[in-house]
Each structure stands twice: as structure tokens, then as C-alpha cells.
Amino acid sequence: MTGFEIIAVVVSFAGIWLTATRRMLCWPVNFVACALYFKLFLDVRLYADMVLQALFGIAIVYGWIAWARGKADTGDIVVRPLHRAQASAGLAAGAVGALAIGWFMSRYTNAALPWMDAGLSSFSLVAQYSTARRHAASWLLWIVVDVLYVGMFIMKGLMLTAGLYAVMIALAVMGYRRWRAA
């Protein structure tokens, strides 16, 4: 555990809480969290997660625009349903991405956990896209991904980050309940 990891955890927690409560400030805060974790994951050789942070940066810009356009007259962010075909397509894309990234990482890098890192990264992108599209069901995928991330971070000795992801599971449950109610 380093001071840098502590800062990354605090900023990430704030970003996820803001997202779960449907506040526009979540986007710039999450952008800073991505930058911090990009550096942290580089340092511990979780390359797929490092690249994921860069892709999250792009997704954050997309989400920021999508949420700005998806406001009700009251200023609240409007939650949209996720149709079965959309969910299936997202999960299929996550699986294909996991296989492609895992193959590349296991073959061409010295990644510490190439397949696990790739799978979690790929499905995190699916969850992030679904969150940007304002689908309450995105939180269900975040719950599964975060549970698995806790294990991976414990294996890598990133105990504070593992703790953050454990808390993020609770935030995802809260987010799902709040978004469903909306």
C-alpha cells in the first residue's frame, strides 16, 4: 500500500458514489481516478487494466455527453431499460474481447494475470458502456466484475484497492436500487 494507491482509492470511491447517485460530477472525478489507476496498474504489471483505464477515459467523455443529453426537465439523469438483445450483444462482445485481449496479453507481454485481467477488463468496458447509456442493469455486471476484481487485487497484494472494490460492490448494489427506483 502506497500513498499513491490511497489517493487513487479515495478519488475512485468518490467517483463511483457520484455515479451511483446520478450526479454529473461523477465524470470528471472518474476521469482523474482513471489516470491514477493507469499509473498504478502500470507499476504492478496489470497491463490490460492499465489499457482499460485509458479506454475508460474515452468512455468517460462519451458518458459525460450522453448524460448531459439524457436529462429530464428537472435536471435528473433519466434511466433507460436494457433490452435482452442489447444485454446479450454486450455479454458476447465482452467474451470476444476477453479472449482476444487474453490471448494477446498471454502471448506478447509479461502480464501477471493475463487471462483474468483481460476478462475483467473486457467486461468492465461492457459495464461502463451500459452505465454511460444509463441502463440500471449495468450495476448487475459491475457487481460480478467487482467481486472478481477483489480476488485479483488480493492476489497482487493491492489490499487497499481490493478493499475499494469490496466497497464498490456495495455502491453497485446501491446504484442498482436507486437506478431501478428512478
Segment 67-110, tens digit of pLDDT = 888 777 777 778 889 999 999 999 999 999 999 999 999 999 88
Q: What is the band of 1 on the pLDDT scale with cuts at 50, 70, 90?
A: low
Say if CB 142 and CB 171 are below 8 A apart: no
Q: How far apart are CA 153 and CA 174, in angstroms?
A: 22
Please report whether residue 77 resides in a domain.
no
Please report whether residue 78 resides in a domain.
no
SS3 of the chain: helix, strand, coil, percent, to 5: 80, 0, 20
Please report whether residue 27 resides in a domain.
yes
pTM equals 0.83
Q: Which three cell numbers stand for residue 81?
A: 431499460
The pLDDT score that the predictor gives to residue 50 is 87
pLDDT digits (tens, 9 = 90+) for 28-58: 999 999 999 999 989 988 887 788 899 889 9
Q: For residue 12, what are the domain limits? A: 3-72+83-181
pLDDT digits (tens, 9 = 90+) for 170-182: 999 999 999 998 8
Among candidates 1, 150, 135, which has minimal Cα distance to 80?
135
Q: To 5 degrees, how large is the angle CA 55–CA 154–CA 47? A: 30
The pLDDT score that the predictor gives to residue 8 is 92
Number of domains observed in the structure of the chain? 1
Please report whether residue 158 resides in a domain.
yes
Mean local confidence (pLDDT), 116-130: 93
The pLDDT score that the predictor gives to residue 89 is 97
Burial bucket for residue 75 (CB in 10 Å: 0-12, 13-18, 19+) = exposed
Exposed e or buried b per residue across 7-24, where buried means at least 16 C-beta atoms within 10 angstroms of its C-beta: ebbebbbbbbbbbbebee
Among candidates 37, 35, 15, which has minimal Cα distance to 26?
15
The pLDDT score that the predictor gives to residue 51 is 86
Residue 111 has pLDDT above 90, yes or no: no
Q: How far apart are CA 145 and CA 121, in angstroms?
A: 9
Please report whether residue 130 resides in a domain.
yes
Q: What is the band of 146 on the pLDDT scale with cuts at 50, 70, 90?
A: very high
Coil, strand or helix at 137: coil
